[in-house]
Amino acid sequence: MKYDIIVLGSGPGGYVAAIRAAQLGFKTAIIEKENLGGICLNWGCIPTKALLKSAQVFDYLKHAADYGLTVNEFDKDFGAVIQRSRGVADGMSKGIQFLMKKNKIDVVMGTGKLKPGKKIDVTVDGTTTEYSADHIIIATGARSRELPNLPQDGKKVIGYRQAMNLPTQPKSMIVVGSGAIGVEFAHFYNSMGTEVTIVEFLPNIVPLEDEDVSKQMERSMKKAGVKIMTNSAVERIDTTGNGVKAFVKTAKGEEIIEAEILLSAVGIKTNIENIGLEECGIATDRDKILVNDFYQTNIPGYYAIGDVVPGQALAHVASAEGITCVEKIAGLHVDKIDYGNIPGCTYATPEIASVGLTEKQAKEKGYELKIGKFPFTASGKAKAAGTPDGFVKVIFDAKYGEWLGCHMIGAGVTDMIAEAVVARKLETTGHEIIKSIHPHPTMSEAIMEAAADAYGEVIHL
């Protein structure tokens, strides 16, 4: 079977690349060994948001009196919550199947392995078929990273995939790592009533965020009942008993904490083993496939996108890389992706959204800064909604007004961050944000107010 483009992997990088290729007139096939949509759609981005929505609704019920409402009886059905999440994921996967048919993309289910000469072997139930293409795009994604001192057995010590599909709700859980995956699951299980402890090696949780955001998140999670241990490391575990004992090294010495389950959320490992990279001579470095600005590997005709290449391991990044890669193959005029303007989002409560430089990074680069901050406690919309936790923080270059960074924590901020992304893309200055009329009452006007605060013109603070 001969194609113009074959995509190996159907996650948000792979399936988007395949659709764009088909739109541009390429005869396209996509190879997937499990479920269309990949980890993001089936075991990541989408089903976790379904779980978090259930947690949000449950929290609303618990605080109904705050809104003048009386709810006499309510409870959770953990199994039904999990089932709803799986149903959402299954429905989205079927949606990808529809898109493949709509765009006349051949879907090949099986395990793919690259071969020299722009070929791929696909094995199903012991039977192998060879496919070839002018261009092969590798989009095999990543999985939960497993540390030697935290071996995952899928029952007592789990990764994010098992955390989405537990048969019963644990009474207690240790979450190792406090990036987006760690804090989202910590929030979900805490909201459901599980006793949660986060163990983070670095001084702050969500350590990649601006320090002010990290500190606010820690305050909010502690207020919600999550125990947080920073500057701490799980050195070893003992699973011989009924649950898990974690031996944690802290500044004060070793501490032993116990729980039913330990969730390892210490990052991801790329899926680059046993896919034929060595046989084809494709260069890798530190768990990543090396590519140029348009995702060409060192071997002509082979490309790579998404989590398997250097850069932020985010679904929207993989999709953008897939489109850029295919459009470059098609000979279109394509700008390389600006990795300094990629938004990052965390969907716990409160949500976190950010883009650009943190205050610390901007100072390290030598900028003279104008920094503005607007708390949601001063937002009429946030107060009316009962969600006053958090703020918007903006960072501008004092000399030219360039918008260097935007960092938000609060309700719905993941839907607000795109304003900053687009504005930075268009090289919008702080004064232009201040003079752009934002609707009232909305959460989004906090962006304008924060910009005004940076320039000493804030009205409502």
> 134 and 10, same structural domain?
yes
Residue 459 maps to a domain: no
Instruction: Give the CA radius of gyration of the chain.
Output: 23
- What number of other Cβ atoms are within 10 A of residue 79's Cβ? 12
In the chain, the percentage of residues whose pLDDT exceeds 90 is 94
108 — phi, psi (to 5°)?
Answer: -110, 110
Tokens of 105: 């993309």
In a domain, 442, yes or no: yes
Segment 53-89, tens digit of pLDDT: 999 999 999 999 999 999 999 999 999 999 999 999 9
Q: Same domain for 318 and 388? A: no
Say whether 386 counts as a known binding-site residue. no
Contact indicator for 198, 226 with CB cutoff of 8 Å: yes
- Domain presence at residue 234: yes
User: Does 440 participate in catalysis according to the annotation?
Assistant: yes
Contact call for residues 342 and 372 (beta carbons, < 8 A): no
**Residue 105 clears pLDDT 90, i.e. is over it:** yes
pLDDT band at 38 (very low <50, low <70, confident <90, very high): confident
List, for residues 245-301, the tens digit of each pLDDT value.
999 999 999 999 999 999 999 989 999 999 999 999 999 999 999 999 999 999 999
Q: What is the CATH number of the domain that holds 443?
A: 3.30.390.30
Task: Kindly state whether residue 317 falls inside one of the protein's structural domains.
Answer: yes
pLDDT value of residue 301: 97
Last residue of a domain, one of 266, 286, 307: 266
328 occurs within a structural domain: yes
The pLDDT score that the predictor gives to residue 44 is 84
CB 192 within 8 A of CB 57: no
pLDDT tens track for 194-244: 999 999 999 999 999 999 999 999 999 999 999 999 999 999 999 998 999
The CATH number of the domain holding residue 93 is 3.50.50.60
Last residue of a domain, one of 241, 266, 291: 266
Q: Which residues pair with 409 in a beta bridge?
A: 352, 391
Q: For the chain, give the number of residues.
A: 461
Tell me the average pLDDT across 312-316. Answer: 94
182 known member of a binding site: yes
Residues 312 and 335 reside in one and the same domain: yes
Please indicate, yes or no, if residue 61 is contained in any of the structural domains: yes
Cα distance between residue 10 and residue 36, in whole Å: 5
Bond into 350 cis (ω within 30): yes
- 401 HSE (CA, 13 A, CB side): 13
Least confident window among 34-38, 251-255, 451-455: 34-38
413 is in an annotated binding site: no
Write the CA distances from 153 to 261, 307, 428, integer angstroms: 11, 24, 50
Per-residue pLDDT at 26 = 98
What global pTM score does this model have? 0.94
The closest of 377, 379, 378, 359 to 369, measured between CA atoms, is: 359
Cα distances (angstroms) measured from residue 282 to each of 141, 278, 291 = 16, 6, 10
Among 236, 266, 296, the domain-final residue is 266
Residue 255 and residue 116 share a domain? no
Q: Work out how many domains the chain is built from and give that number.
A: 3
Contact criterion met (CB below 8 Å) for 103 and 22: yes
> Are residues 261 and 273 located together in one domain of the fold?
no
Band the pLDDT of 42: cuts 50, 70, 90: confident
- The answer to whether 180 is a known ligand-binding residue is yes
Across residues 97-101, what is the average pLDDT?
95
Confidence (pLDDT) at 1: 85
Mean pLDDT of 110-127: 96
Query: Residue 62: what pLDDT?
Result: 93
Mean pLDDT of 7-34: 97
Residues 16 and 112 in one domain: yes
pLDDT at position 261? 97
How high is the pLDDT of residue 275? 96
Going from the C-alpha of 53 to that of each of 88, 182, 187, 337, 344, the distances in angstroms are 12, 17, 11, 32, 19
pLDDT tier, 45 (very low <50, low <70, confident <90, very high otherwise): confident
Contact call for residues 12 and 38 (beta carbons, < 8 A): yes
* Beta strands per DSSP E along 383-436: 391-397, 403-410
Query: Which residues have a Cβ under 8 Å from the Cβ of 268 and sit 6 or more positions away?
Result: 142, 143, 144, 145, 307, 313
Reported confidence tier of residue 52, pLDDT bands at 50, 70, 90 = very high
Assess if residue 461 is contained within a domain. no
183 assigned to a ligand binding site: yes
E strand or H helix at 92: helix 78-102
- The answer on whether 132 is annotated among ligand-binding residues is no
pLDDT value, residue 258: 96
pLDDT at residue number 284: 97
What pLDDT is stored for residue 399 in this prediction? Answer: 93
* pLDDT per position as a tens digit, 352-396: 999 999 999 999 999 999 999 999 999 999 999 999 999 999 999
Q: Residue 151 and residue 153: Cα distance in Å, rounded?
A: 6
Q: Are residues 19 and 126 in the same domain?
A: yes
For residues 135 and 283, membership in a common domain is answered with yes
CA distance 61 to 389: 19
% of the chain with per-residue pLDDT over 70: 100
112 annotated ligand binder:
yes
Alpha carbons within 13 A on the beta-carbon side of 208:
18
What is the Cα–Cα distance from 338 to 69, expressed in whole angstroms? 48
**Beta-strand pair 142-144/157-158:** unpaired
Within this chain, do residues 13 and 112 fall inside the same structural domain, yes or no? Answer: yes
Residues 54 and 100 in one domain: yes
Range of the domain at 382: 350-454
The single residue of 135, 316, 440, 460 carrying the catalytic annotation is: 440
The first and second tokens of residue 158, run together, are 């789990």
176 and 34 inside one domain: no
- 40 falls in which pLDDT band (50, 70, 90)? confident
- 284 lies in the same domain as 198: no
Q: Is it the case that residue 134 has pLDDT exceeding 90?
A: yes
pLDDT reported for residue 41: 84
- Look up residue 376 and give its DSSP letter: G
Q: Which pLDDT belongs to residue 187?
A: 97
Evaluate if residue 331 carries a pLDDT over 90: yes
Is pLDDT above 90 for 423? yes
Output the pLDDT for position 171: 97
Domain membership flag for residue 460: no
